[in-house]
Amino acid sequence: MTTEILYFAWVREKIGTGAETLDLPAGLATVADLVAWLAGRSPGHAEAFADPTRLRAALDQNFVALDAPLGRPREVAIFPPVTGG
Amino acid sequence: MTTEILYFAWVREKIGTGAETLDLPAGLATVADLVAWLAGRSPGHAEAFADPTRLRAALDQNFVALDAPLGRPREVAIFPPVTGG
Amino acid sequence: MIAVMVDPTPIDIGAEYAAIAVDGAGGIATFAGLVRADDGVTALTLEHYPGATEAALVALAEAAAARWALSAARITHRVGRMVPGDTVVFVATAARHRAAALEACAFLIDRLKTDAPFWKKETLAGAERWVEPRDSDDAAAARWRP
Amino acid sequence: MIAVMVDPTPIDIGAEYAAIAVDGAGGIATFAGLVRADDGVTALTLEHYPGATEAALVALAEAAAARWALSAARITHRVGRMVPGDTVVFVATAARHRAAALEACAFLIDRLKTDAPFWKKETLAGAERWVEPRDSDDAAAARWRP
């Protein structure tokens, strides 16, 4: 099963793409584990994910803390804190 | 010296006019004294001024309590509590 | 920039909005009060005290501009006969930051209800009645006392 | 009646206003957030999370309608590139009574700043920078917690 990973704002810019479809390895217990794994994919990923305190995430469009269980989402989004309105 | 007396809302309707120019007698110390004197001018005035607690006033467009000193205003307005907006 | 108007012509929301959107404003708050058809009301007639009413609105707008950092404040109040759905009053505030615009707008409409000489008469079932002042308006105005 | 829209086209205030003025509303409160030219900002670019952003706005509007007695709530948020003076967001609430409309409008704009996925990038002196979240926005949103 593949997972759609979405990036927004400067996370997207540093990685160089807004979306990638990936086969996630077994053993990723939390969102933070996924972020750590993604950081190894490229220097851009590494830079985007260097400081996890600056990241927020959503699993299937539900906002979660980075220490939330990852489960088996179809869509994961990783992004900075929001600054809208 | 004459004084312009203005009436608004149901005070105006009961009296039958929105303005009258009057020579005020000596001895009216407060706005309430003026109201009591005006009440004697006609049955309409008497009805309009029957319950002074329902009246508000302005002297030269400054809102005052009925027990305020009358002084020698050029314009006195007598009206119900406001209900705008 | 303070502007007040009391006029029998219908309030043009588009024109009001264009007038408040001054350079530099980061936030614009507005409030419109409309005639409701409560209890079968078919018309509302507003009376004011020419001169004194406009002065009271200017004083309110100046108080708001002094208390909050406003770049503009407008109060436009209709008088005369209106029907349900018509806009009776339109208050607009502009400020660099949203909290100032929002609070000043609420202040102006609350205080306007108690501090400006307007009187409302309702027409219903062919009869007319003057609206009585409401305690809730006094309470709303009182919460802005310093 | 809840309506939310996230769109790159300029916000048409007149159309927004016409849409919120529903039968029976006694008060309409609105707030517009505009692009400011602070620090020489020449453009602002808004990004959102399609689907999730709209859902977050609907959830906010439903929360407001449940907490206050609203007859309608609208949130229209622009995305893409804007210049100073452009309207970024327009929030409008309609209710029978003014306090409900005013409070719900303030609630929506405060919570929208922290609860809806939008990201702002400023262009100034030819360079671009992502806007950092502000503590004051968190504080403004927190005051609505029950």
Which residues 39-78 on chain C approach chain D with CB closer than 8 angstroms?
Answer: none
| Per-residue pLDDT, C140 | 81
**In order along chain A (85 residues), what is the average pLDDT of each group of 10 residues?**
95 97 95 97 97 94 94 96 87
The minimal CB distance from B84 to the residues C46, C55, C130 is found for C46
Residue D129: what pLDDT?
A: 94
Give the predicted TM-score (pTM) of the model. 0.92
Output the domain CATH number for residue B49.
3.10.20.30
Per-residue confidence (pLDDT) for residue A46, from 0 to 100 = 97
Beta-carbon separation of C133 and B77 below 8 A: no
- Selecting from D31, D85, D99 the residue whose C-beta is nearest the C-beta of C27 gives D31
Are C49 and B84 in contact (CB < 8 Å)? no
For residue C137, list its beta bridge partners.
none
Report chain D's C-alpha Rg in angstroms: 15
How far off is chain C from B66, nearest CA to CA, in Å? 16
Please judge whether B85 and C121 are an interchain contact, meaning their C-beta atoms are less than 8 angstroms apart. Answer: no
Amino acid type, C132: E
| B58 within domain boundaries | yes
When scoring C4, C36, C49, C122 by the number of chain B Cβ atoms within 10 A, the one with the most, hence best to mutate, is C49
Asked if C touches B (at least 3 Cβ pairs < 8 angstroms), the answer reads yes
pLDDT in tens, D46-80: 999 999 999 999 999 999 999 999 999 999 999 99
Pick from B18, A49, D36, D62: which is nearest to C28 by CA?
Answer: D36
Residue B85 lies inside a defined structural domain of this protein: no
B contact residues 20-49, partner C, Cβ 8 Å cutoff: none
Q: Is the pLDDT of residue C146 over 90?
A: no
Pairing of strands A2-7, A75-79: parallel
Average pLDDT (C130-135) is 87
Instruction: Test A84 with D48 for CB contact under 8 angstroms.
Output: yes
- Average pLDDT of span C132-146: 80
What confidence score (pLDDT) does residue B58 get? 96
The two counts, helices (H) then strands (E), for chain C are 4, 8
Residue D85: the pLDDT is 92
Q: Is residue A84 part of a domain?
A: no
State residue C81's pLDDT score: 97
Cα of D109 to nearest chain A Cα, Å: 7
Residue A35 maps to a domain: yes
Q: Span C2-142: which CATH code?
A: 3.90.1170.40
- Nearest beta carbon to residue A80 from set D89, D115, D130: D130
Chain C partners of D98 at a C-beta cutoff of 8 Å?
A: 31, 33, 109
**Chains with 3 or more CB pairs closer than 8 angstroms to C?**
B, D
Q: What does the DSSP assignment read for C65-118?
A: HHHTTEEEEEEEEE-EEE-TT-EEEEEEEEESSHHHHHHHHHHHHHHHHHHS-E
What is the structure's pLDDT at C125?
A: 85
Determine the pLDDT at residue C25: 87
Helical H runs in B5-77? 9-15, 31-39, 43-48
Q: How many CB pairs under 8 A join A and D?
A: 66
Q: State the residue range of the domain holding B28.
A: 2-79
C41: phi then psi, degrees, rounded to nearest 5: -65, 130
What is the reported pLDDT for D141? 80
C52-109 confidence digits (pLDDT tens): 999 999 999 999 999 999 999 999 999 999 999 999 999 999 999 899 999 999 999 9
Mean pLDDT for each 10-residue chunk of chain B (85 residues)?
95 97 95 97 97 94 94 96 87
Chain C, window 64-123: residues with a beta carbon less than 8 angstroms from a chain B beta carbon? 77, 88-89, 109, 112-121
The strand pairing partners of A2, in sequence order, are: A23
- Mean pLDDT (chain D) is 93
Comparing D95 with D145, the larger pLDDT belongs to D95
Asked whether the predicted pLDDT for residue D32 surpasses 80, the reply is: yes
For the stretch C7-27, pLDDT in tens is: 999 999 999 999 998 877 899
Q: Which residues contact D112 (CB under 8 A, 6 or more apart)?
A: A84, A85, D57, D60, D75, D77, D89, D91
Chains A, D in contact, 3 or more Cβ pairs below 8 Å = yes
Total domains, chain B: 1
Output the pLDDT for position B5: 98
Contact status, residue A85 vs residue D109, Cβ threshold 8 Å: yes
CB contact under 8 A, A79 and D49: yes
Let me know if residue B84 belongs to a domain.
no
Spell out which residues of chain D touch residue C10, defining contact as CB-CB under 8 Å: none
Kindly list the domain boundaries of chain D, sorted by start residue.
2-142
Of B6, B58, B83, the CB nearest to C131: B83
Interface C:D, Cβ pairs < 8 A: 78
Q: Does C21 touch chain D (CB under 8 A)?
A: yes
Residue of D nearest to C104 (CA): D102
Q: Find the closest chain D residue to A78 by CA distance.
A: D49
CB atoms < 10 A from the CB of B77, how many? 25
